[in-house]
Structure 1
Amino acid sequence: MGPLRGASAAPAAVRITAIASLTPLEELEADPFLVDSRSQHAMCARWAAEQGFVVTRELLVGGLRFDHDALWDGVRPGVDVFVAPSRRVLERALSSAEEFTAECARRGVHVETVGSAEPAYDARMKARVHRRLSMPTAGYDGK
């Protein structure tokens, strides 16, 4: 996993899939970033924009097998790029980050990690994440 260099396709043709971890709300106090999938996807979107791309698909998964159809449906070599905020998010989202990256290499698909610092969560930020995740059917969107 390194910087995306010299993609053969024009930026508009590159499709970015952002991977976020599906982590139970019960882990909010111990590891708020892993629970905060919205911030994970936002980090991936910022990375994509900095590269001149846009996120075309967002996945929210926890322990998904590296060969699951949800990952690979329609994925094309030289066109699709998977991006995760960090290696630890990738490790939480997938059953095996190593097998996934090996499968990406085998298929000719890039895998990137943003590598930016994770946000520091204070009590107010944790409360916002908690409200957003505990009241999704009430129409609360976390703003």
Structure 2
Amino acid sequence: MGGLRVAAIASLTPLEELDQHSFLVDTRSQLRMCARWADERGHTVTRQLVFSGVRHDLCALWADVEGGTVDLFVAANEQVLSRALLSVPEFADECAKRGVGLESANLPEPVYDAAMKADVHRRLSMPTAGYDGC
């Protein structure tokens, strides 16, 4: 089953959870894990989706499936998937109805030392000076 077009799913998790759930905060590492999983199987990541607590029937989830550019969804692990979606079972059912695969990469998570956490924090923090909300 090689050569599939894959949508990689990452979860948005508040930066405040960096110390408890470093991997869930680090969307770049989640997406890299999905890309590595896909590459090892001869698949191509054609879409990267990053969200938190979305409904299984959100139009944006299915646009690329309907457009013929996604055959399979992959998340780094079940915890990422459960953060990204309101209901994993409903999403899995919808995937089955549409004939779209759903997988978890389940590769080893990176080890987050203080320097790596600082880098994630730096990348994900927004400067607030001069920010007017627009």
TM over 0.5: yes
For 1:125 and 1:30, the matched residues in 2 are separated by: 14
> Which residue does the alignment assign to 2:47?
57
Shift of 1:95: 0.5
TM-score (norm 1): 0.83
**From 116, 126, 129, the counterpart of 2:117:** 126
Shift of 1:115: 1.2
> For residue 110 of structure 1, what is the amino acid of its counterpart?
G
TM-score (norm 2): 0.88
> Which residue does the alignment assign to 2:65?
75
Q: Deviations over 1:44-102 (max 9, x none)?
A: 0001110112211000010010110010013058x510000001100000001111011
For 1:136 and 1:36, the matched residues in 2 are separated by: 18
Runs ≥4 residues deviating over 6 A: none
* Structure 1: gaps (5+ residues): 1-5, 138-143
What SS is found at the alignment partner of 2:73?
Answer: strand
Q: Where does 1:1-143 land on structure 2 (aligned, <5 Å)?
A: 6=1, 11=3, 14-76=4-66, 80-135=71-126
For 1:136 and 1:126, the matched residues in 2 are separated by: 18
> For residue 89 of structure 2, what is the amino acid of its counterpart?
E
For 2:35 and 2:127, the matched residues in 1 are separated by: 22
Q: Deviations over 1:9-45 (max 9, x none)?
A: xx1xx21100000111111111010000000000000
For 2:8 and 2:90, the matched residues in 1 are separated by: 18
Matched residue count: 127
How large is the RMSD of aligned CA atoms in angstroms? 1.9
